[in-house]
Amino acid sequence: MRSRTAVESLLPLPLPVFHMLLSLSDGERHGYALKREILQRTQGKLNLGSGALYGSINKMLEQGLIEESEERPDPHLDDERRRYYRITSLGRKVAQAEALRLRDLVNLAEIRLGLSEPA
Amino acid sequence: MKNARFDSVGLYRLLLKLYPARFREEYQGPMERQFRDEYRDASTTGERTRLWTTALLDVVRQAPVQLISEVRQDLRYTVRVYRKRSMRGALAIVALALAIGGSTGVFGVVNAVLIRSLPFADPENLVEISGSPVAPTNGRPAFIAWRDASPYLRSAAVYSTSEMNLGRERGALRVKVSETSANLFEVLGAKPLLGRAFSSEEDSPGRTGVGVIGYGLWQQAFGGDRGVIGAKILVNGVPIEVIGVAPQRFDYPGGTALWVPTVFDFERIPKRGAFFFHTLGRLSIPPALAGHLFEAEVARVNPAASKEEIENRPRLIPLRERLAGPVRSAIWVLGGLVVFVLLAACANVAQLLLSRASERREEFAMRAALGASRARLIQQLVTEAIALTGCSAAIGLVVAHQVCKMASLIVPATLASQEYTILDWRVLLFAVGLTTAAGIFFGVAPVLARWVTAEDALRAHTATSGRDTLRLRWALLALQCGLTLTLAAGSLAMGRSFLRLLDVDLGFTPASAVTMNVSLQGTKRDGKAARSYYAEALQRLRAVPGVEAAGAVGYLPLVSQVQMAGSLKLDSGQVMNAIVMNGASPDYFRAIGTPFVAGSDFRSGDPNPAVIVNEAFARMTGLDERIVGRRLTAPWTSNQYEIVGVVRTARFAGPSHPGGPMAYWSIEEEAPPTLTLVARVRASGEASIAMCRDAVRSVDIGVPIYDVKTLERRLSDTLARPRFYAEATFLLGLIAVVIAVAGIYGSAARSVAQRRREMGIRMAIGATNRQVRSLVLREVLIPAAAGAGAGIVGALAGGRYIRSLIANAEPITLEVCTAAAVVLLSIAFAAAWRATTHVSSIHPAEVIRVD
Q: Output the DSSP codes for B402-464.
A: HHHHHHHHHS--SSGGG---S-SHHHHHHHHHHHHHHHHHHHHHHHHHT---HHHHHHHTTSP
- Rounded to a whole number of angstroms, the CA Rg of chain A reads 16
- Chain B residues in contact with A58 by the CB 8 A cut-off are 23, 26-27, 66
Between B225 and B808, the higher pLDDT residue? B225
- Chain A residues in contact with B63 by the CB 8 A cut-off are 51
Q: Do residue B31 and residue A50 have CB atoms under 8 angstroms apart?
A: yes
**The pLDDT of residue B377 is above 70:** yes
Q: How confident is the model at residue B397, as a pLDDT?
A: 81
- Chain A residues in contact with B54 by the CB 8 A cut-off are 47, 49
Q: How confident is the model at residue B130, as a pLDDT?
A: 83
Q: Do residue A51 and residue B33 have CB atoms under 8 angstroms apart?
A: no
Q: Which of A49, A55, A83 is nearest residue B30 as measured by Cβ atoms? A: A83
Q: Report the gap between the CA of B27 and the closest CA in chain A (Å).
A: 7
Closest chain B residue by Cα to residue A30: B30
Q: How confident is the model at residue B589, as a pLDDT?
A: 95
The residues of A whose Cβ lies within 8 A of any Cβ of B are: 30-32, 35, 47, 49-55, 57-58, 77, 80, 82-83
Q: How confident is the model at residue B597, as a pLDDT?
A: 92
**The pLDDT of residue B370 is above 50:** yes
Q: What is the 3-state secondary structure (H, E, C) of B632-648?
A: EECCCCCCEEEEEEEEC
- Chain A residues in contact with B26 by the CB 8 A cut-off are 54, 58
- Chain B residues in contact with A52 by the CB 8 A cut-off are 58, 61-62
The residues of B whose Cβ lies within 8 A of any Cβ of A are: 19, 23, 26-27, 30-31, 33-35, 37, 54-55, 57-59, 61-63, 65-66
**The pLDDT of residue B244 is above 60:** yes
How far apart CA B226 and CA B222 sit, in angstroms, is 9
Closest chain B residue by Cα to residue A34: B34
Give B175's strand partners.
B164
**The pLDDT of residue B111 is above 70:** no
**Beta-carbon neighbour count of residue B434 at 10 Å?**
21
Between B374 and B689, the higher pLDDT residue? B689
B595 touches B614 (CB < 8 A): no
Q: Report the gap between the CA of B380 and the closest CA in chain A (Å).
A: 19
Distance of CA B230 to CAs A7, B164, B210, B628, B683, Å?
78, 20, 9, 59, 48
Q: How confident is the model at residue B1, as a pLDDT?
A: 45
Q: Do residue A58 and residue B27 have CB atoms under 8 angstroms apart?
A: yes
- Chain A residues in contact with B66 by the CB 8 A cut-off are 51, 55, 58
Q: Report the gap between the CA of A2 and the closest CA in chain B (Å).
A: 25
How far apart CA B497 and CA B503 sit, in angstroms, is 10
Closest to B181 measured CA to CA, from B155, B151, B163: B155
**Beta-carbon neighbour count of residue B65 at 10 Å?**
15
Q: Report the gap between the CA of A16 and the closest CA in chain B (Å).
A: 14
Q: Report the gap between the CA of B8 and the closest CA in chain A (Å).
A: 15
**Beta-carbon neighbour count of residue B267 at 10 Å?**
8
B181 touches B193 (CB < 8 A): no
Q: Give the model's confidence band at B850: pLDDT under 50 very low, under 70 low, under 90 confident, else very high.
A: low
Q: Do residue A50 and residue B30 have CB atoms under 8 angstroms apart?
A: yes
B608 touches B642 (CB < 8 A): yes
Q: Do residue B66 and residue A58 have CB atoms under 8 angstroms apart?
A: yes
Q: Do residue A55 and residue B23 have CB atoms under 8 angstroms apart?
A: yes
Q: Do residue A82 and residue B55 have CB atoms under 8 angstroms apart?
A: no
Residues 6+ apart with CB under 8 A from B732: B102, B334, B337, B338, B340, B341, B487, B491
Q: Which of A30, A49, A58 is nearest residue B26 as measured by Cβ atoms? A: A58
pLDDT in tens, B181-237: 999 988 888 888 889 999 988 988 888 889 999 988 888 888 888 888 988 888 888
Between A33 and B719, the higher pLDDT residue? A33
Q: Report the gap between the CA of B419 and the closest CA in chain A (Å).
A: 50
Q: Give the model's confidence band at A90: pLDDT under 50 very low, under 70 low, under 90 confident, else very high.
A: very high
Q: Give the model's confidence band at B659: pLDDT under 50 very low, under 70 low, under 90 confident, else very high.
A: confident
How far apart CA A56 and CA B23 sit, in angstroms, is 12
pLDDT in tens, B36-65: 888 888 888 898 998 899 899 999 999 999
Q: Do residue B23 and residue A30 have CB atoms under 8 angstroms apart?
A: no
- Coil, helix or strand for B466? coil
CA torsion, ordered B556, B557, B563, B567, to nearest 10 deg: 110
- Rounded to a whole number of angstroms, the CA Rg of chain B reads 37
**Beta-carbon neighbour count of residue B12 at 10 Å?**
21
